[in-house]
Each structure stands twice: as C-alpha cells, then as structure tokens.
Amino acid sequence: MAHRPGFVLEVDRSTPPTLFHHGEGFRLERLPAGSRVIYPSEALAPLKDPDAAIRHALLNPVGSDPLPALLKPGMKLTIAFDDVSLPLPKMRRPDVRQRVIEAVLDLAAEAGVDDVHLIAALALHRRMTEAELRHAVGDRVYDAFAPRGLLYNHDAEDPDNLAFLGETDQGEEVEINKRAAESDLLVYVNINLVSMDGGWKSTATGLASYRSLRHHHNVKTMRHSRSFMDQHRSELHSSNWRMGEVLRKSGVKVFQIETTLNNDTFPKPFDFLQKREWDWTARDRASFIAVSKTLERTPSRLKRSIFQSIEAPHQMTGVNAGEVEAVHAITTAKVFEQQLVPVDGQTDVLTMGLPYICPYNVHSVMNPILVMCLGLGYFFNLYRGKPLVREGGVLIMSHPTPWEFHPVHHPSYIDFFEQVLADTTDPIEIEKTYEKSFAEDEWYRHLYRTSYAYHGVHPFYMWYWGAHALQHLGGVIVVGGDPKAVRRLGFKPASTLRDALEMATDVVGRDPSITHLHNPPLLVADVT
C-alpha cells in the first residue's frame, strides 16, 4: 500500500488529544480548536534488496567511474563513515554503514587493495566506543580492522594527523584528516537523515579540525542559514561547498556513497508514536497507557536506559554513489520525498514536543543546552521557504529539561551552563568573550582526545545552532521543564500547555494562530 503523505490537520472538537514527545515520556494535549497540526509522511517503501541496491550503486555511480575501476593494488584507500550521531534512534543491525562498508571492502579485496583505513568522521563529537563502532560497521569489519589500528575515530586535535589544504575564496581554512587527504581514494559512507547531512559536509565537516570548522560553525553562518535544511538558503551549506571545492582542487578524490532511510522510527511497543492519533487502535491506546503509566513509576536513570536502548526499524529507501554533488542532489530529493510537508503560511505560536534524543546525547543525557539546540536549532529549522513561526512569534516546547549533564560526554557543557550562561545568553557575546578559551582549553582537548568527551567548543556550537531562532522569536516557553534550568537558558517555564499558551498571548496578542509540529518521525515544513 502506498504511504500516506504528510499533511496539515485543523483541530476541531472531534480531534483526539495530540501527542507531544516529552523527553523520556509523552503528553497528550488538547490543542485549541482552529490550531493546526503538521503530521509527517508515513514511511516510504524500503528498497526490497538493500545489498543488491548498494552493489548496483557502487557499480553504476553518478558522475564517476564505477568503484572497481578506481581500486588498484598498492593504493591507499580510506573509508570514512558517519558517526554515532546518525541515525536517530540508532538503527537495528545491520546498520546501513555496515552493509555499505562490507560491499566496498569486498570490491577492494577483489581489486587487491590492502592498505585500507576506516575512520569515524566525528569532527568535534565524542569518540565512538567499541560497542558503538561494532554496531555501526559490524563485528566482522571491526574485528578485521580495529585490532590492527586500522579502524579508529578521527582526531581533530592531532596536529600530526591533520593536513592543511588551503583556503576558500572567502578565506576559510580547510584542514582535514591527513590520512583521508593523502589517500588515493576517500570513500565516504553517509546516512542522510535530513537534507542538511551529506554532500561536502561529510568530508569538509566530519573530517575537519577546529581551525577549519570555526569558519562555518559560528553565529554569523548560523543566522544566515534559513534554514539549514534548504541548501539554496543555507550559508552553512555554501561554506561546506566552498571547502569541498578546495578539497577537489587539492586532489582529494572522494567517492561519495549516500543512503536515505524511511520514517519507520519507533519499534514496538513505541510504534504508536508514529501513528496519527485517530488511527490508534485499541491496542495502541492500551500500549500508550501501559507505557505512560510504567514510565511514571520508573526512576529517571532506568527510563533513560530503556529509551536509549531503542533501535529504530529504519529501512533504506535509497543508495547512491559517485561524485559528491551529483550524488547529493539525488539524495536530497529522496529525503524531501519522505519528509517534505506543504504548509500554508506562518503561525503566531509554534508548539513542539521534544523527544529523548538528539544527535549529541546518544547513550547519554539530554542536558539543557541540548534541549535548546534540539528545539531552536533543529526543530525550528525544519522548514523550507519561511520559518513556521512568524518573526516575533512564540515557540512552546515540551521537555523535562533536567539540570543534569553526562560528566564524561559533556564536561565543557557543564562549565558552559554554569559559567557562560550565568553571564549571558547572547550568542554574539558568548562567541566573542568565551569561545576561544573553551576551544583551546587543554583539559577539554585532553578529554576529547583520550576519553569520550565532546570537544570544549561543542556547547558553543549548540548555542549558535539556535542563534537564528533566538533572533527570530519573540519568546520561548518550556512546558514541564525544571524552572531553574529553563530560566538559565533565558526561556520561560510553564507547568502546562494551557499556561504556556496564555503566557504566549503576552507576546503575540489574544487569539493567536497555533501550529503544532508533530515530530518525530521527521518532517520538513515547506512553508509558502
């Protein structure tokens, strides 16, 4: 049966309560009559034989010779792949990266290539653990390469293993992983969850150093990316593409392999999360009640562990290989086929329920800075055309927002929250006054390189990610969050959605238009 596309529902008296994600829990909320709810598309049909599709893509690439023609004995081959931040939630085994990497390695072996390195392209993210690497590439690949030091995490702070390749025509320095830069062929294996992923961003960001990343991970770029999901209006995209040009001119030969996934996001017993409420069966309703009641009585640590163990039944909808830009054009079209939902006009008040996970808290804690980034950085930017909420409008998001941090993964976040945000929430001021000292802090550098910590500058990037929204919005209200943590973020806490809507009228006036982003599963609003 064909999937049902995403659509906009107008709430009336007969509309059942709307599901809001709320961290490791959910809320059912009655939206006022006349509100709009934007529903994502149902899952696209998956590829019937993913392994055959991968092989086909490698043998029939776009804008490039087939992969076997690029593989020669004695050559230096590097396979870089997306890190633990993708996909969300992590997918059931076998991960698509495993499928693709195994296919590439089979061809390399047939061609007699024996100098092969595999690199997790994590930029300034935390290093992947052995378990996470095994999950991504599979045990066979891990056991064949990791023990010999041929499968490892990229280190953006290792001066001996970075190569400076030059500057873009706008003076942006391009510095990436030396092994990748000096290989005869760099194969990049991507999971393109949203349209912002992939393309030159894979290599120019994923394998880059802080020296290079700071040229686009800054307030100015973020404020001029409207949105990140729209390549034609994203300065982040443009900067990565300029850097890609430097890679190309420097002789870095990239064979890009991009995959797309469908919206099949939540397994049983959480599959009701991807159904429209009026489609809920008696069993779904029972599941919702059982899950909700159980979660209410579950300690937060256990709850987190339950949610973090969710493995999505995502299935591959496309795989394309070859020249970076040609491949990415096809990929983007496929992503939009799954995620784009036409929406007519902006709203005064945008509501959203934030789930338990974002790209930076896999197996970790969704700390308040990540709450801000997920709401104002990611979900706010899930638009093409115009922002869903009008300029000066109000964003209401639902999340517990605990004042809690993972001490191993997010050490610099703790200091950012306690020291920087206690002083100012203005992204420009934060960037000017504090970024350098965090970015060059030897302790954070040490933890990033040897432990499992995000780079010292990473919380700044999270804050910048929301800079466009901060500039655009008239107010942000968090429903059900820890009031102290919410205030530290510069937002207003509310106990209930009703209170939040009442508070919003102070900013947008009486009887505002209200739109709810029913996400995830992911959608991108095409606002006209």
Partner 1 sequence: MKALVFERSLPRFAAAKVAGALAPGRGAGPGPLRLTELDPPERPGWRRVRPRLSGICGSDLSTIDGTSSRYFEPIVSFPFVPGHEVVGDLDDGTRVVVEPVLHCAIRGIDPACAACAAGLTNRCERVAFGHLEPGLQTGFCEDTGGGWSTAMVAHDLQLHAVPDDFTDEMAVMVEPTACAVHAAAAVGEGDVVVLGAGTIGLCVIAALGDRSVVAAAKHPVQRDLAEDLGATVCAPSEIEGVVRRRTRSMLIGDQLTGGAAAVVDCIGTADSIQQALHLVAPGGTVYVVGMPSTVSLDLTGLWHREVDIRGVYAYTHAEFERAFAVVRERRLDRLVSATYPLHRWRDAIRHAAEAGRRGAVKVAFDLRDEKERERT
Of 52-71, binders to partner 1 (CB under 8 A) are none
Query: Closest distance between partner 1 and the C-beta of residue 489, in Å?
Result: 17
Q: Is 42 helix (H, G, I), strand (E, B) or coil?
A: coil
Taking the least distance from each CB to partner 1, the nearer of 418 and 502 is 418
Structure tokens at 264: 């099949």
User: Does 419 engage in binding with partner 1 (CB under 8 A)?
Assistant: yes
488-400-501-509 Cα dihedral, nearest 10 degrees: 20
Q: How many CA atoms lie within 13 A of 247 on its CB side?
A: 33
User: Does 285 engage in binding with partner 1 (CB under 8 A)?
Assistant: no
Q: Among 292, 345, 443, 490, which residue sits at the site for partner 1 (rule: CB under 8 A)? A: 443
Taking the least distance from each CB to partner 1, the nearer of 61 and 411 is 411
Helix ranges (DSSP H) in 214-323: 219-223, 235-249, 282-297, 300-308
User: Does 429 engage in binding with partner 1 (CB under 8 A)?
Assistant: no
| CB-CB contact of 206 with 213 (8 Å) | no
Query: How far apart are the C-alpha atoms of 202 and 327, rounded to whole Å?
Result: 12
Q: Among 305, 437, 496, 528, which residue sits at the site for partner 1 (rule: CB under 8 A)? A: 437
Query: Closest distance between partner 1 and the C-beta of residue 422, in Å?
Result: 8
Q: Among 83, 95, 175, 441, which residue sits at the site for partner 1 (rule: CB under 8 A)? A: 441
Query: Closest distance between partner 1 and the C-beta of residue 462, in Å?
Result: 18
Taking the least distance from each CB to partner 1, the nearer of 249 and 446 is 446
Which range binds partner 1 by CB under 8 A, 174-182, 301-309, 360-368, 438-446? 438-446
User: Does 408 engage in binding with partner 1 (CB under 8 A)?
Assistant: no
**Residue 482 vs residues 39, 100, 396, 402: alpha-carbon distances, Å:** 28, 43, 15, 6
User: Does 414 engage in binding with partner 1 (CB under 8 A)?
Assistant: yes
Query: Closest distance between partner 1 and the C-beta of residue 488, in Å?
Result: 12
Q: Among 160, 297, 442, 509, which residue sits at the site for partner 1 (rule: CB under 8 A)? A: 442
Query: Closest distance between partner 1 and the C-beta of residue 442, in Å?
Result: 6
Cis omega before residue 313 (within 30°)?
A: no
Taking the least distance from each CB to partner 1, the nearer of 419 and 471 is 419
Between helices 427-439 and 458-465, what is the axis angle to 10°? 160
Q: Parallel, antiparallel, or unpaired: how do β-strands 36-39 and 173-177 relate?
A: unpaired
Query: How far apart are the C-alpha atoms of 188 and 386, rounded to whole Å?
Result: 32
Which residues lie below 8 Å from residue 170, measured CB to CB, with a gap of 6+? 239, 242
Q: Among 418, 502, 506, 511, which residue sits at the site for partner 1 (rule: CB under 8 A)? A: 418
Q: By C-alpha distance, which of 257, 301, 334, 273 is closest to 47?
A: 334
Taking the least distance from each CB to partner 1, the nearer of 438 and 464 is 438
For partner 1, how many residues bind (rule: CB under 8 A)? 11
Taking the least distance from each CB to partner 1, the nearer of 25 and 411 is 411
Taking the least distance from each CB to partner 1, the nearer of 179 and 455 is 455
User: Does 281 engage in binding with partner 1 (CB under 8 A)?
Assistant: no
**Judging by beta carbons within 10 Å of its beta carbon (0-12, 13-18, 19+), is residue 309 exposed, middle or buried?**
exposed
Query: Closest distance between partner 1 and the C-beta of residue 177, in Å?
Result: 26
Which range binds partner 1 by CB under 8 A, 220-228, 310-318, 391-399, 417-425? 417-425
Which range binds partner 1 by CB under 8 A, 204-212, 394-402, 434-442, 511-519? 434-442
**Residue 271 vs residues 22, 285, 293, 307, 358: alpha-carbon distances, Å:** 16, 11, 17, 13, 19
User: Does 415 engage in binding with partner 1 (CB under 8 A)?
Assistant: yes
Structure tokens at 265: 């996001």
Q: Among 293, 446, 484, 498, which residue sits at the site for partner 1 (rule: CB under 8 A)? A: 446
Q: Give the residues across from 190 on adjacent strands.
A: 258
Q: By C-alpha distance, which of 212, 236, 123 is closest to 163?
A: 212
Query: How far apart are the C-alpha atoms of 238 and 143, rounded to whole Å?
Result: 38
Taking the least distance from each CB to partner 1, the nearer of 83 and 441 is 441
Which residues here bind partner 1, judged by CB under 8 A? 414-415, 418-419, 422, 437-438, 441-443, 446
